[in-house]
Structure 1
Amino acid sequence: MNDNYVALITGSATGVGRACALRLAEEGFDIVVNYSQSQTEAEETRTLVEELGVQALLIQCDVSDDAGVRKMVGEVEEKWGRLDVLVNNAGTTEFIEHNDLDAVTEEIWDRLLGVNLKGPFFCIRAAAKLLRESDIGAVVNVSSTAGVDGRGSSVPYCASKGALNTMTKSLARALGPEIRVNSVCPGPIDSRWLKRVMTDEQLAEMTSEYPIPRPALPEDIADTVVYLALGTSLSTGQMLVVDGGRTM
């Protein structure tokens, strides 16, 4: 059995996932760095984690592939014999105007639900045995305010995150008391994701009238993830919105 706690963060090559990996490494966790396509960035995350004095395990896996997820968790068990925190951060979207219904293909629906909803379920199911054996077993799902108010990059994205929030509640009931399951719901994040479709100036303008008038940084979301994973022992089935007051 590994002496350090172990955390698996899906989609941890960049952005919020990388920030979560580094924050949990600072807390003394050994880290599983998961990626689907961004190998170079994932290797950078592994290096940054190891520079903090803990071990890192790099695993390529598309979370929408149930067999691949089971294999990934099996690798974690083989290497360290434990898993204490699971952060379901991997996600994808398509930027489609909500009134453009014809642009939403069945393929888009299947991909977004596969990664954003089925993926977290597959990861939780595969990890449940190890998480139950931990004295701090915790799951944090990285959701979105799109799953709260229906405003987001596309209708399928909003639907996938709304379903993830509901699943968070269902699994909190099903897996308690050994495993706590919570979600963090960020608003706009200053990250590569949004930079695909807007400039820094557009992002600043979009958030300028929020009570806290700025977008989130990946580190803001990582702080919340660490709180839900380690900073509370009684919270489960909760969706914690971190959006500068946007949805208030």
Structure 2
Amino acid sequence: MTNASRPVSLITGAATGVGRACAIGLARQGHDVVINYSRSEAEAKQTAEDASSLGAKTMLAKCDVSVDTDVRKMIAEIRSEFGRLDCLINNAATTEFVEHSDLETLTEPMWDRILGVNVKGPFFVTRAAAELLAEGDGGSVVNVSSVAGITGSGSSIAYCASKGGLNTMTKSFARSLAPKIRVNAVCPGPIDSRWIREGNPNWDLEAMVADYPLPKPSQPEDIADAVLFFATGTNLTTGQLLPVDGGQTIR
């Protein structure tokens, strides 16, 4: 049975990686968690099981965040199940690994999918969740972006552009949803996760970070620490972009 006094968090793309680490971290802090996923059902169920073992009530929500009608249905189900929403972590993302000089390979369908998930998705979810977030004592939105949106260097030009858009949208939302809802973004550098290891096995993570001030790739938990700070660890921070990148952006 739902405990109305427990905060509730929705994490998109929560089956694996950073999203999973955020769900587990929030469960450890006493939140009930909604675990959104689009394809990785087995991994999402495992995340839910692990969060439940920490005392959290969990809800699985299969939804492609780039589809507005499905997003609105997901938020309606959260309202029905929990009656509240305190934190939204926009973590779901996608990319294509295409060399920046290889312009012809980056097709229009690739652009559409990357922008659909990485830009329209966070907009759709935040828009749909805003009313429920604002009904509480003060909601928080954290967008998991990327230093690619700052440096213009990443898996593809489309991915960099999408994260640049997410960064500016973070600031726009911080203004438009204030004062009830805070909106911030975490911008990871290279993460040692399935995202890179399987997405482009030819990338050498250790070589990539060798000349960083902190020469090691982050783990999903490193990024989750920063996300949870914005989500629950501060009351007067909004519209901020926090690189968590081993110093990549100050080289």
**Could you state the TM-score of these two structures normalised by the residue count of structure 2?**
0.97
Question: For the aligned residues, what is the CA RMSD?
Answer: 1.0
Which segments of structure 1 move beyond 6 Å, counting only runs of 4 or more? none
Question: Match of 1:117, as an amino acid?
Answer: V
Report how far residue 198 of structure 1 moved: 3.1
- Does 2:111 correspond to 1:109? yes
* Among 214, 221, 224, the residue aligned to 2:223: 221
- Does 2:46 correspond to 1:44? yes
Could you give the per-residue CA deviations for residues 144-173 of structure 1, whole angstroms, max 9, x where no partner exists? Answer: 000001000000000000000000000100
* Among 193, 218, 230, the residue aligned to 1:191: 193
- SS of structure 2 residue aligned to 1:240: strand
Report how far residue 50 of structure 1 moved: 0.3
Aligned to 1:23: 25
- Does 2:206 correspond to 1:204? yes
Aligned to 2:148: 146
Question: Match of 2:233, as an amino acid?
Answer: G
- SS of structure 2 residue aligned to 1:185: strand
Question: Match of 1:130, as an amino acid?
Answer: L
Q: Distance in 2 between matches of 1:216 and 1:136?
A: 30
Question: Match of 1:128, as an amino acid?
Answer: A
Could you give the per-residue CA deviations for residues 196-223 of structure 1, whole angstroms, max 9, x where no partner exists? Answer: 21369x2112112211110010000000
Aligned to 1:64: 66
Aligned to 1:244: 246
- Any stretches of 5+ residues in structure 1 without a counterpart? none
- SS of structure 2 residue aligned to 1:129: helix
- SS of structure 1 residue aligned to 2:215: coil
- SS of structure 2 residue aligned to 1:108: helix
- SS of structure 2 residue aligned to 1:236: coil
Question: Match of 1:187, as an amino acid?
Answer: G
- SS of structure 2 residue aligned to 1:211: coil
User: 1:136, 1:230 within 8 Å by CA — same for their partners in 2?
Assistant: no
Question: Match of 1:49, as an amino acid?
Answer: A
Report how far residue 3 of structure 1 moved: 1.6
Percent identity for Structure 1 against Structure 2: 60
* Among 181, 185, 194, the residue aligned to 2:183: 181
Q: Distance in 2 between matches of 1:54 and 1:220?
A: 22
Could you give the per-residue CA deviations for residues 31-82 of structure 1, whole angstroms, max 9, x where no partner exists? Answer: 0000000000000000000000110000100000000000000000000100
Q: Distance in 1 between matches of 2:132 and 2:4?
A: 12
Question: Match of 1:209, as an amino acid?
Answer: D
- Any stretches of 5+ residues in structure 2 without a counterpart? none
